[in-house]
Amino acid sequence: MPLLDTTPLLLLEGYAWLPARWRETQGEMVHTRLMGRRAVVLRGPDAARFFYDDDHVQRAPALPEPIKSTLFGHGAVHTLDQAAHRARKGMFMSLMTPASVSALVDDTTEAWDAAVATWRERGQVVLFDEAARVITRGACRWAGIPLTEEETGPLAADLVALVDGFGSPGPRHWRARAARRRREAWLAGLVEDVRRGALRARDSSPLAVAARHREPDGEPLAPRIAAVELLNLVRPTVAVSWYLMFAAHALHRWPVNRVRLTEDADGGYAEAFAHEVRRFYPFAPFVAGVAVKDLTWKGERILADWLVLLDIWGQNHDPALWPNPCAFDPRRFAGREIGPYDLIPQGGGHPATGHRCPGEPVTVGLLKALAPRLARLDYTLPEQDLTIAPHRIPARVASGFVLRPAGAAAPRETVEAGRRRPSAHPL
């Protein structure tokens, strides 16, 4: 019996698509068709190790054009494999040193503290939107990208659009395409300005590093490709806005975490909280690659050129790895050494040699710094929709998480109304 193409179900069901496929199978992998191609789905640490082996699966051939035109960009490091990928990845790794990550976190927390000081005067704010603007300011300051206050809001909106449009075939997708064209042209111009001496950038800044980077053949990156990679440094940083919104959601649903974060003396609980937010809440449902040759996985065949999907959502909620996985409990990470193929919201393996996101320390660092600040902030919630729809990729709290700082003028509806309608786990 021929396999049905389940792409329409993916678009309809979102994060519920793979759980439904697993319920329909009794083997070690799911067999399906996606975008007209034969596909198999794997999950678990052993599957992640198998998937991230370049001798088994290559990522670049599996990236569809809509993803390249929104999230990653044409010619990006994500579109490369093996030696070419490792060479370009070296540029990213040179910018992800502990000192550099610390500088980025410091720039962003400084921007956060300045923004929070204005919130009371404004009455109430949408946390997701505020986080995007704050992180945009901090990331651009760190990257050496000149940015005025007037430019911050439009740039933040474009960076959010790049992430928000990758999982949608509708208006969100077309906004993302337009945002990418606009921002690639802008950053390519900055790269050219640096190269001809019209703009000075500190030597260690991402703008300067991208402008002077040379490929293995000795040629510099084309200005547009340099712009693509600059976006691939700043855009994922701003994507932390999703996780910070989810952090606020978790603090609202399980207030004990506010107490634990405010009493956290050494940052250990804040780091565990960051990991649990990344494990528990939905972001990327899966990653895809192409089998480079005929393979065997646990006795089942995978033929060359089949799509191979690694189930991120399923692995991050696997009870064999995470007891009681649908409970939000940062204490599961206390004293636990996380294996390179266990917690994989941003990929598995080693970032220097594989496709794991090199910016993962930035995500953890920003959450570790900003979640306690959020926990210490005195605010109430107006009436709003706090649900997280499982069909929307990437998922988000419907309201964006609206908060009203203490002392701000309060409308009739108060936090108690908001608390009567908490959302359950998305799936």
CA angle 10, 16, 21 (to 5 degrees): 75
20-57 pLDDT, tens digit each:
999 989 888 999 999 899 999 999 999 999 999 989 99
Task: Give pLDDT, residue 353.
Answer: 65
Q: What is the DSSP letter of 397?
A: B
Average pLDDT over residues 208-233: 93
Q: Where residue 402 sits, what CATH number does that domain have?
A: 1.10.630.10
Let me know if residue 66 belongs to a domain.
yes
54-80 pLDDT, tens digit each:
899 998 778 888 888 888 889 888 888
DSSP assignment of 321-375: TSSSTTS--GGGGTTPPPPTTTS-BTBSS-TTTSSS-TTHHHHHHHHHHHHHHHH
Per DSSP, the three-state class of 213 is coil
Beta strand pairing call for 307-311 and 286-291: antiparallel
Q: What is the mean pLDDT of the chain?
A: 90
Total of domains in the chain: 1
Distance CA 178, CA 257 (A): 40
Let me know if residue 116 belongs to a domain.
yes
Distance CA 333, CA 392 (A): 28
Let me know if residue 425 belongs to a domain.
no
Among residues 249, 285, 254, the alpha carbon closest in space to that of 131 is found at 249
pLDDT over threshold 60, residue 375: yes
Let me know if residue 427 belongs to a domain.
no
238-280 pLDDT, tens digit each:
999 999 999 999 999 999 999 999 999 788 999 999 999 999 9
Let me know if residue 351 belongs to a domain.
yes
Residues of the chain with pLDDT > 70, as a percent, come to 94
Task: Give pLDDT, residue 26.
Answer: 84
| Per-residue confidence band for 427, with pLDDT thresholds at 50, 70 and 90 | very low
Distance CA 7, CA 80 (A): 25
Average pLDDT over residues 89-104: 92
Per DSSP, the three-state class of 77 is helix
| Domain membership of residue 410 as a residue range | 7-419
Task: Give pLDDT, residue 352.
Answer: 66
